[in-house]
Structure 1
């Protein structure tokens, strides 16, 4: 029972970090309720422990806040970033299995399959006729917050067509792909970034999103 509880808490912590990072696709309200219940249980247990040891059982406002902050920190703080680590500045070219999506985002297995082609998309693994892998670029930076809007526009396209759209360089985007413009960073395989491409990637999120939306609508119109 204790092991199952710890496993549930570990999963919820991963999901909360995903929510904070903007990559959580589950029920946010239900997750917050779970976190709130754990925070309350933690502070309540602290009061009970003090009572058993004969200490005062009343937490002042500041003490209660410190207790809650400490408890919340255990939920939010993940593995420490190594000293001198550099923030990711290039989009990954890799593809994740469903298990890797769960590991990186904290989603449940059912959420991953339910949200496929709604909040993110999958492609068939190379050399296979079926199965699912997920291009990792779509889970980077602000992409998870804006990708669902684009997938709604592209909903009539096949998985292959969706991936081709996002990965193909476009003249109107200064030879960048929609994926790069949406994320505001080049793919890791791109050796050089021209000045005009740097300018495109440095535009505001809204401007970049509008450009990709316009292309997505043209893509759908061309297929009609």
Structure 2
């Protein structure tokens, strides 16, 4: 009919209120939430008040669920955190605030600047997968073969246990914390030692790599010793 006009289609034949495509389009927009404010405006008064009451209650419940029960502070110490003196630790903390403003220092090692340390499938040789074993290595320390050395990049100190220190009977060039306590390990090489060696550790590969003058050096973890 010429008398009927649809503003949605901009054509004659049916009224805008009778347009099925327009109704379907509006319902689709409502489901997607694009017309939520218009739907609330046309809703009954009682329903609007109920929604206003439910919204703050839901927000309070969400805040209560997200609010932490307490704070667990990180326990750290040793030379990597500035030392045992409180003033030294505070100064160390202030230095971390400006770390992005300090240019990178030159490499401590004599290896080439273009040396790339990477891990590949070939590095899985000899590793039994899957595993959650620690990286336990054997190193030659001043002509002593020292076994059961734990590589731990989560440790803020290099630790040498007293029973191993007494057997060495030599001056220690690397700064270690000598600990007199029973331990399954003779020593722990933490972040200070790893950073000094510029070493990269892959716990997945049970392998530690580090730059040398002759290329990339490797120290492989002993999986059998780690499981004892």
- Alignment TM-score, normalising by the size of structure 2: 0.20
* Bigger helix share: 1
- Alignment TM-score, normalising by the size of structure 1: 0.20
* Bigger strand share: 2
